[in-house]
């Protein structure tokens, strides 16, 4: 790749900083949780269209049957109506209705590889801090939606995607091949990627790039290839019993609460495996209707994880045995609803090394190696499909901790952790990530063979 294009990318990314910050703060102020990203997705589709991208949205890039953890129809409709009043694009908004909040923008020029970049858009069901020391609150861009906020950097990811789109439109003559910008809903709870994979979104992708803004690492610190994601299955379990008078005829009931409680204790008692780590967690138990009534229904919200997909599947099978046995002990039945799932996957080492080599062209860049993530990420579903088709994929971590350099090295230990109401990012990561990912894209287009 010639130096002139690198310099143009650097200049365009620097010039885009104010727009990147504006977009990030706009998305931050109007957060939308999984499958309800109507405003976010429609505005992104509108911007991509204005930049000359071929844009597909809704059912064209989202398989209805592969969606998981979908909110009830009335919730989806209420959020869609709300989006109409929050500056959404009406043309694309209609295509997203009913929880089809997927958007793909493509630009092509000449012969070359197809390069995909993925950006997640969803927020968390979490109340943002109203403390005056919280920067979004102090500067007027905190969430306006109760119990929903961006606390994992997806607002930044979406803004970076738009920044890259703008840069690609400026450098269209330098493009050799096709670039697909994939805006995915419902990453939280690992619910959204499978629907886009099932719709064939990444089937033609030769090289796939993901990224994530990383808590606890300063701007300029990069993980070229994040791996070691745990496979996971998210489930909602309902125990169905029978009510009865707790004092007068307790023998006539079938206690769903007791079945659920027994299941919880025995789920945590399941043995672990020598071949790798496994995890199980019950995050919520709800049951009963009154003090003097045998509980007729109980629900558990739970998850299973494993170091490999095979270990996760084995743990899940044991969990199902526990659930069914607990129900039978108390004369109840049980039903299980899949709410999310993702397998494990690793970044391709060759592509990660290429990313690192390209990133050395950016000033003040340092590299870190992350052996195991521990958590889960449904970008693995896209990675696996591309790898199965003979392509390469990597997920790059990009430092963005607010205390990383914004407040100096002395405060490096003061991390604003993700998935908390006080989360924030160093917004200097936005132009850095835009420049880094764009530089990688143009280099891969010129030299698509990855050793």
In a domain, 222, yes or no: yes
Which range, of 199-208, 361-370, 380-389, averages the lowest pLDDT?
361-370
Q: Which helix (H) or strand (E) holds 111?
A: none
Q: What is the pLDDT of residue 407?
A: 46
The count of structural domains within the chain is: 2
In whole angstroms, give the CA distance from residue 333 to residue 327. 5
Where is the domain boundary, 304, 325, 342? 342
Q: Are 54 and 181 contained in the same domain? A: yes
pLDDT at 410 over 90: no
Q: Tell me the mean pLDDT in the region 47-68.
A: 97
Pick the closest to residue 278 from 309, 307, 320, 303 (CA basis): 307
Q: Are 383 and 436 contained in the same domain? A: yes
Please state, as a whole number, how many other Cβ atoms lie within 10 Å of the Cβ of residue 354: 23
Pick the closest to residue 150 from 173, 171, 129, 177 (CA basis): 129
Q: Are 150 and 235 contained in the same domain? A: no
pLDDT at 2 over 60: no
**366-367 vs 221-223, strand pairing mode:** parallel
In a domain, 130, yes or no: yes
Cα 129 from chain centroid (whole Å):
21
pLDDT at 285 over 80: yes
For residue 259, give every residue at least 6 positions away whose Cβ sits within 8 Å of its Cβ, in sequence order, or none.
239, 241, 298, 326, 327, 329, 330, 332, 334
In a domain, 330, yes or no: yes
Q: Are 58 and 171 contained in the same domain? A: yes
pLDDT at 405 over 60: no
In whole angstroms, give the CA distance from residue 127 to residue 138. 16
Where is the domain boundary, 286, 309, 342? 342
Domain that holds residue 109: 3-229+345-446
Phi, psi (degrees; rounded to nearest 5) at 209: -120, 125
Q: What share of the chain is helix, strand, coil (3-state, %, to 5)?
A: 40, 20, 40
Q: Are 156 and 283 contained in the same domain? A: no
Q: What is the pLDDT of residue 375?
A: 82
Q: Are 219 and 324 contained in the same domain? A: no
DSSP result, 184-239 = E--TTTT-SHHHHHHTTTTTT-SEEEEEEEETT--TTEEESS---PPEEEEEEEEE
**207-214 vs 114-120, strand pairing mode:** parallel
Q: What is the pLDDT of residue 377?
A: 93
Structure confidence at residue 401 as a pLDDT band (50, 70, 90): confident
| CATH code (residue 278) | 3.30.70.360
DSSP state of 153: S
In whole angstroms, give the CA distance from residue 66 to residue 60. 13
Where is the domain boundary, 342, 361, 392? 342
Q: Specify the higher pLDDT residue, 371 or 94.
A: 94
In a domain, 236, yes or no: yes
Q: Are 177 and 138 contained in the same domain? A: yes
Q: Tell me the mean pLDDT in the region 57-62.
A: 98
Structure confidence at residue 371 as a pLDDT band (50, 70, 90): low
Q: What is the pLDDT of residue 416?
A: 81
In a domain, 122, yes or no: yes
Q: Tell me the mean pLDDT in the region 180-202.
A: 97
Q: What is the pLDDT of residue 299?
A: 98
Q: Are 350 and 209 contained in the same domain? A: yes
In whole angstroms, give the CA distance from residue 429 to residue 433. 6
| CATH code (residue 134) | 3.40.630.10
In a domain, 451, yes or no: no
Q: What is the pTM of this model?
A: 0.94
**333-342 vs 231-240, strand pairing mode:** antiparallel
Do residues 145 and 127 touch, judged by C-beta distance below 8 A?
A: no
pLDDT at 431 over 60: yes
In a domain, 150, yes or no: yes
Structure confidence at residue 263 as a pLDDT band (50, 70, 90): very high
Which range, of 91-105, 112-126, 219-233, 359-373, averages the lowest pLDDT?
359-373
Q: What is the mean pLDDT of the chain?
A: 94
Which three-class secondary structure string do you get for 34-89?
Answer: CCCCHHHHHHHHHHHHHCCCEEEEHHHHCCHHHCCCCCCHHHHHHHHHHHHCCCCC
Q: Are 16 and 143 contained in the same domain? A: yes
Q: Are 133 and 213 contained in the same domain? A: yes
In a domain, 101, yes or no: yes
Q: State in Å, rounded, how far the first CA of the chain is from the last one.
A: 17
pLDDT at 228 over 90: no
Q: Are 350 and 315 contained in the same domain? A: no
Pick the closest to residue 151 from 398, 421, 402, 399 (CA basis): 421
Q: Are 168 and 50 contained in the same domain? A: yes
Q: Tell me the mean pLDDT in the region 325-345.
A: 96
């Amino acid at each position: 790749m010639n130096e002139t294009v690198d310099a143009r990318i650097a200049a365009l990314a620097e010039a885009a900083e104010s727009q990147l910050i504006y977009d990030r703060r706009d998305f931050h102020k109007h957060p939308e949780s999984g499958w309800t990203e109507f405003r976010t997705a429609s505005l992104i589709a509108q911007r991509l269209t204005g930049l000359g991208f071929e844009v597909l949205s809704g059912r064209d890039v989202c398989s209805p049957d592969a969606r998981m953890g979908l909110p009830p129809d009335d919730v989806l409709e209420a959020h869609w109506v709300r989006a109409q009043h929050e500056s959404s694009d009406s043309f694309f908004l209609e295509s997203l209705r009913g929880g089809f909040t997927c958007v793909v923008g493509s630009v092509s020029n000449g012969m070359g590889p197809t390069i995909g970049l993925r950006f997640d858009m969803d927020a968390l069901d979490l109340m943002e801090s109203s403390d005056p020391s919280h920067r979004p609150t102090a500067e007027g861009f905190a969430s306006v939606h109760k119990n929903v906020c961006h606390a994992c950097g997806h607002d930044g990811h979406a803004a970076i995607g738009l920044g890259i789109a703008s840069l690609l439109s400026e450098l269209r003559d330098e493009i050799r091949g096709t670039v697909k910008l994939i805006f995915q809903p419902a990453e939280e709870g690992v619910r959204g990627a499978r629907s886009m994979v099932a719709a064939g979104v990444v089937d033609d992708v030769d090289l796939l790039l993901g990224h994530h803004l990383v808590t606890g690492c300063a701007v300029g610190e990069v993980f070229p290839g994040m791996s070691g994601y745990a496979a996971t299955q998210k489930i909602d379990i309902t125990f169905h019993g029978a009510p009865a008078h707790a004092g007068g005829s307790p023998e006539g009931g079938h206690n769903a609460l007791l079945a659920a409680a027994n299941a919880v204790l025995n789920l945590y008692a399941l043995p672990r495996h020598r071949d790798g780590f496994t995890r199980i967690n019950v995050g919520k138990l709800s049951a009963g209707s009154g003090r003097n009534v045998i509980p007729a229904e109980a629900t558990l919200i739970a998850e299973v994880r494993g170091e490999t997909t095979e270990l996760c599947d084995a743990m899940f099978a044991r969990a199902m045995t526990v659930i069914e046995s607990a129900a039978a002990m108390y004369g109840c039945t049980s039903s299980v609803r899949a709410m999310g799932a993702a397998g494990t996957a690793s970044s391709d080492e060759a592509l990660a090394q290429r990313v690192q080599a390209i990133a050395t062209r950016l000033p003040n860049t340092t590299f870190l190696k992350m052996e195991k993530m521990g958590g889960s990420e449904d970008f693995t579903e896209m990675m696996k499909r591309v790898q199965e088709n003979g392509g390469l994929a990597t997920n790059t971590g990009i430092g963005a901790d607010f205390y990383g350099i914004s407040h100096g090295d002395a405060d490096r230990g003061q991390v604003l952790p993700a998935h908390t109401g006080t989360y924030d990012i160093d917004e200097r990561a936005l132009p850095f990530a835009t420049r880094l990912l764009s530089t990688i894209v143009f280099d891969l287009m010129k030299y698509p063979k990855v050793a």
